[in-house]
Structure 1
Amino acid sequence: MVGLMSGILLAPSAATAQVSDGGTVRQLDQLSQCRAMTDDKERLACFDRASAAILASRAAGDLMVLDRKAVIARKQSRFGLAVPTSEMFGGGRADEVTDVRQLDSTIKTASAAKAYGRWNLELANGSVWQTVDALTFGPSKGDAITLKEAPLGGYRATIAGGRSILVKRIR
């Protein structure tokens, strides 16, 4: 069961009293300690107590379990927005392993922006980006696009394997 859990978060409430100095939930530590018991009866009683405490915390909203794929999908949907996603789920190792630094998609629609040479690009995931660098020819529907964080801030896009251009997310 523990191997299936991808991430665990604490909501600010009385559960903070159950957080150890290392940031782990004591209830999960207790569950782990139960595994070390050799007497079957004691081990089962320990597991029953620990699992009841975990389920009670989850029911109270103090403990949340998140699927890694759901976390990555959420971060991908927020990629490029002003809200940083690097510490969206509490920071630390859990955020590091779900970090999103690149988004691969396709162009759903491309329309000329009001500024000369700029294009508004709606991607398959629903996000809308605008080219900052002027393009002589507009991108086409269905073109592959890769968006990455730029080294000095901002975002760069590569459309259909072409040169990298500066882009910004509109929505």
Structure 2
Amino acid sequence: MKLLIILAAWVPSAAAAQRVEDRPKSIDEITACRQVHGDAARLRCYDHAAEALAGARASGDILILDRKTVVARKQQHFGLSTPTSEMFGGGDADKATEVRQLASKIIAIAPAKAYGRFDIQLANGSVWQTLEALPFPPKPGVGVTLQKAAMGGYRLSVTGQRSVLTKRIR
């Protein structure tokens, strides 16, 4: 029992340590310059750290994305099995940009192999298949909302109709 408690206490600290190790050193070097005493020494520190960061960015060793770009990329991956938390590092900042809902318009619709199901292409290029029968196929140009549902699924709400379970196929 003691081993289990020690292991449980170790896991969160190991995850936190991994996040710190994943952080680029060039960012830490800039923030460390705040602690340097003396204006001339602090300026040299900032100049050196800024040069290292600019070099890392120019060589592609470090990528800098703003929140808007991260959210847009997560919206593009919404519904795919690729976990975006791995793509963007996880942590609190990643949770703050989580996409739980997507609004779009239908561009094209085609019957799926099963009766009453449809393949629906949205304006963002994604294609979703309904997992429940729809009494009437929605028309292109109609707005839809996709939301995460219980147990890892997704619900598609077509304006004027009930929501149905769906999955992303492309």
TM-score by length of 1: 0.79
Query: Structure 2: how far apart are the matches of 1:21 and 1:153?
Result: 25
Does residue 113 of the first structure (1) align with residue 116 of the second (2)?
no
Q: Tell me the CA shift for residue 122 of structure 1.
A: 0.6
| Larger RCO: 1 or 2 (CA < 8 Å, sep 6+) | 1
- Stretches of 4+ aligned residues off by more than 4 angstroms: none
Query: Structure 1: how far apart are the matches of 2:18 and 2:89?
Result: 15
- Percent sequence identity over aligned pairs: 52
Aligned to 2:125: 126
Residues 121, 129 of structure 1: 8 Å contact kept: yes
- Point out the structure with the larger strand share: 1
Aligned to 1:15: none
Please list the CA deviations of residues 38-67 of structure 1 after superposition, one character each: whole Å capped at 9, or x if unmatched.
Answer: 533222211111112222322343322112
- Point out the structure with the larger helix share: 2
Q: Structure 2 stretches of 5 or more lacking a match?
A: 1-16
Residues 19, 89 of structure 2: 8 Å contact kept: no
CA RMSD of aligned residues (A): 2.2
Please list the CA deviations of residues 105-140 of structure 1 after superposition, one character each: whole Å capped at 9, or x if unmatched.
Answer: 111112222211011111010111111110111111
Query: Structure 2: how far apart are the matches of 1:98 and 1:70?
Result: 10
Residue correspondence of structure 1 range 148-163 to structure 2 within 5 A = 148-163=147-162
Aligned to 1:22: 20
Q: Structure 1 stretches of 5 or more lacking a match?
A: 1-18
Query: Structure 2: how far apart are the matches of 1:145 and 1:33?
Result: 48
Amino acid at match of 1:92: G
Query: Structure 2: how far apart are the matches of 1:20 and 1:100?
Result: 24
Query: Structure 1: how far apart are the matches of 2:147 and 2:19?
Result: 36
SS at match of 2:164: strand
